[in-house]
């Protein structure tokens, strides 16, 4: 029987204050958090729940997260490569060694340092800005080889430190052929005896693009990679729509016994930004006690079983003042942490439940998450069984899907550009 499974991995955990000392040193608070996380990790027949931190910007989080085991499925640590670069620093061997050591001590799985085969027209741009970047074929092979060497050194340190941590190989490319070639080049740099220590692959999009079509491509490309792997990780996904192709391929049987993990800071950051996920969509809650909106959230948290039996007035307070002001006024941040996490856990229960319902009911997925323009395009994904089917789908149907594709050549200036 084909049994695919999913794993929600929460990142951006500073937003939910579980790294505050009161969260894990106060027995009452720790017991509440572990009970809540354990529920998220066990209530679904398809899903697990885990935590992720950035080993560069959050070097002590992995150690703190150990307090929540075994209520969470695992601790994952990112390498922090992107953050190092955006801080204007170079990723040196010394930095890599430091990160690998942190990962080996405090994580169950870890992201590798990958080299991205991109070039930029002028200054570097934001992650989703594709206008001034292009896939650089001249850099491609060297980037893949360096990534392979990085993974080799990462595994060496994990083994030297007698750690059970396993790395994910991040895969980059601009088409099916380059994604497959990337894996071939990476694996050639990793001793064959080390291949068994690879946890899985993470499908990168930095040199492919960030549209719906690119998500579909990544979902299919995974099935063609020349590597034995049953753990697929999707980087930075916090919406149902971004998960659709992966759910569809799990339903259709194209994925066979694949564990799909995905990380997101969407819902942790939503606590600060005023977003609550319910009934398949987000709604915004204000920083003032509007009873109509807050009652919806308050009653949903109680229904989901995460309530601390506080009144709606007290339930609202942690969202209206900073934590230190709360401590000064009420003497402890423990109630603050518990209420914040009651909302967070309720959001995650709603989100996981929605993903599960999409996985269990094809008609629900199609009717709720596609529209008149995209319905047939997504329905046709169920018919894809091999590369030829996908090439046909790409040729005849993909044009109806939103695309933010990164070109494989430098963008030429247009006459309009030259006017400014």
Strands 275-278 and 281-284: antiparallel
Q: How far is CA 295 from the centre of its chain?
A: 30
pLDDT at 101 over 80: yes
pLDDT at 206 over 80: yes
Q: Give the C-alpha separation, 412 to 2, whole Å.
A: 47
Q: Where in the chain is the domain with CATH 3.20.20?
A: 5-272+366-400
In the Cβ-directed half-sphere of 232, how many Cα atoms lie within 13 Å?
A: 26
Output the pLDDT for position 413: 46
pLDDT tens string 339-367: 999 999 999 999 999 999 999 999 999 99
pLDDT tens string 103-131: 999 999 999 999 999 987 755 544 455 56
- Locate 354 and state its tokens: 């929605």
Distance from the first to the final alpha carbon of the chain: 61
Q: What is the mean pLDDT of residues 376-390?
A: 97
Say if residues 406 and 135 touch (Cβ distance below 8 Å).
yes
Output the pLDDT for position 39: 98
- Residue holding tokens 């229904």? 303
**Predicted confidence band of residue 27 (pLDDT cuts 50, 70, 90):** very high
Say if residues 306 and 272 touch (Cβ distance below 8 Å).
no
Output the pLDDT for position 225: 98
Neighbours of 68 (CB within 10 A): 22
Angle between helices 334-360 and 27-42 (to 10 degrees): 0
Closest residue by Cα to residue 72 from 98, 42, 45, 97: 42
Please report, to the nearest 10 degrees, the dihedral formed by the alpha carbons of residues 349, 374, 3, 352 taken in order.
Answer: 0
pLDDT tens string 41-99: 999 999 999 999 999 999 999 999 999 999 999 999 999 888 888 888 889 999 999 99
Output the pLDDT for position 159: 98
Least confident of 265-269, 287-291, 297-301, 325-329: 287-291
Beta-carbon contacts of residue 412 (< 8 Å; ≥ 6 apart): none
- Locate 7 and state its tokens: 């794993």
Averaged pLDDT of the chain: 93
Least confident of 101-110, 211-220, 235-244, 288-297: 288-297
Tell me, yes or no, if the pTM score tops 0.85.
yes
Domain covering 5-272+366-400, topology:
TIM Barrel (3.20.20)
Output the pLDDT for position 418: 37
Output the pLDDT for position 114: 95
Sign of CA dihedral 99, 259, 48, 285: positive
Output the pLDDT for position 414: 39
**Predicted confidence band of residue 133 (pLDDT cuts 50, 70, 90):** confident
Facing residues of 9 across strands? 50, 263
3-state secondary structure the chain: CCCCEEEEEECCHHHHCCCCHHHHHCHHHHHHHHHHHHHHHHCCCCEEEEEEEECCCCCCHHHHHHHHCCCCCCEEEECCHHHHHHCCCCCCHHHHHHHHHHHHHHCCEEECCCCCCEEECCCCCCCCCCCCEEECHHHHHHHHHHHHHHHHHHHHHHHHCCCCCEEEEEECCCCHHHHHHHHHHHHHHCCHHHHHHCCEEEECCCCCECCHHHHHHHHHHHHHCCCCCCEEEECCCCCHHHHHHHHHHHHHCCCCCCEEEEEECHHHHHHHHCEEEECCEEEECCCCCCHHHHHHHHHHHHHCCCCCCCCHHHHHHHHCCCHHHHHHHHCCCHHHHHHHHHHHHHHHHHHHHHHHHHHHCHHHHHHHHCCCCCHHHHHHHHHCCCHHHHHHHHHHCHHHCCCCECCCCCCCCCHHHHCC
Q: Residue 148: which region, alpha, beta or left (left: phi > 0; alpha: psi -120 to 50)?
A: alpha
Sign of CA dihedral 234, 10, 325, 294: positive
Output the pLDDT for position 356: 98
Sign of CA dihedral 21, 24, 26, 32: positive
């Amino acid at each position: 029987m084909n049994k695919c499974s999913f794993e929600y991995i929460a990142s951006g955990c500073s937003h939910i204050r579980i790294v505050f000392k009161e969260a894990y040193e106060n027995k009452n608070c720790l017991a509440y958090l572990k009970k809540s996380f354990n529920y998220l990790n066990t209530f679904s027949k398809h899903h697990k729940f885990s935590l992720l931190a950035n080993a560069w910007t959050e070097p002590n989080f992995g150690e703190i997260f150990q307090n929540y085991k075994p209520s969470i499925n695992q601790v994952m640590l990112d390498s922090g490569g992107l953050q190092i670069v955006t801080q204007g620093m170079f990723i040196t061997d010394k930095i890599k060694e430091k990160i690998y050591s942190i990962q080996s001590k405090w994580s169950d799985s870890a992201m590798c340092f990958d080299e991205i085969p991109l070039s930029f027209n002028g200054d570097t741009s934001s992650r989703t800005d594709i206008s001034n970047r292009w896939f650089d074929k001249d850099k491609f092979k060297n980037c893949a080889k360096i990534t392979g060497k990085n993974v080799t050194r990462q595994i060496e340190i994990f083994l030297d430190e007698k750690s059970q941590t396993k790395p994910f190989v991040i895969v980059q490319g601009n088409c099916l052929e380059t994604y497959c070639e990337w894996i071939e080049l990476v694996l050639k740099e990793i001793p064959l005896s080390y291949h068994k220590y690879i946890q899985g692959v993470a499908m990168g999009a930095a040199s492919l693009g960030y549209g719906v079509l690119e998500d579909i491509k990544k979902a299919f490309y995974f099935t063609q990679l020349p590597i034995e792997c049953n753990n697929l990780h999707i980087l930075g996904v916090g919406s149902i729509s971004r998960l659709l192709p992966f759910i569809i391929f799990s339903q259709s049987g194209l994925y066979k016994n694949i564990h799909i993990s995905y990380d997101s800071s969407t819902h942790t950051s939503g606590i600060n930004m005023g977003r609550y996920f319910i009934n398949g969509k987000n709604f915004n809650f204000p920083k003032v006690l509007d009873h109509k909106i807050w009652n919806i959230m308050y009653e949903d948290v109680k229904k989901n079983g995460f309530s601390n039996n506080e009144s709606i007035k007290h339930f609202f307070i942690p969202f209206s003042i900073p934590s230190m002001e709360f401590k000064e006024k009420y003497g402890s941040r423990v109630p603050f942490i518990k209420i914040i996490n009651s909302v967070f856990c309720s959001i995650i229960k709603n989100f996981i439940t929605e993903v599960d319902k999409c996985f269990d009911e094809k008609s629900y997925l199609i009717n709720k998450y596609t529209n008149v323009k995209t319905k047939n395009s997504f329905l046709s994904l169920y018919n894809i069984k091999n590369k030829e089917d996908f090439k046909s789908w790409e040729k005849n149907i993909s044009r109806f899907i939103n695309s933010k594709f990164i070109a494989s050549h430098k963008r030429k200036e247009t006459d309009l550009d030259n006017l400014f």
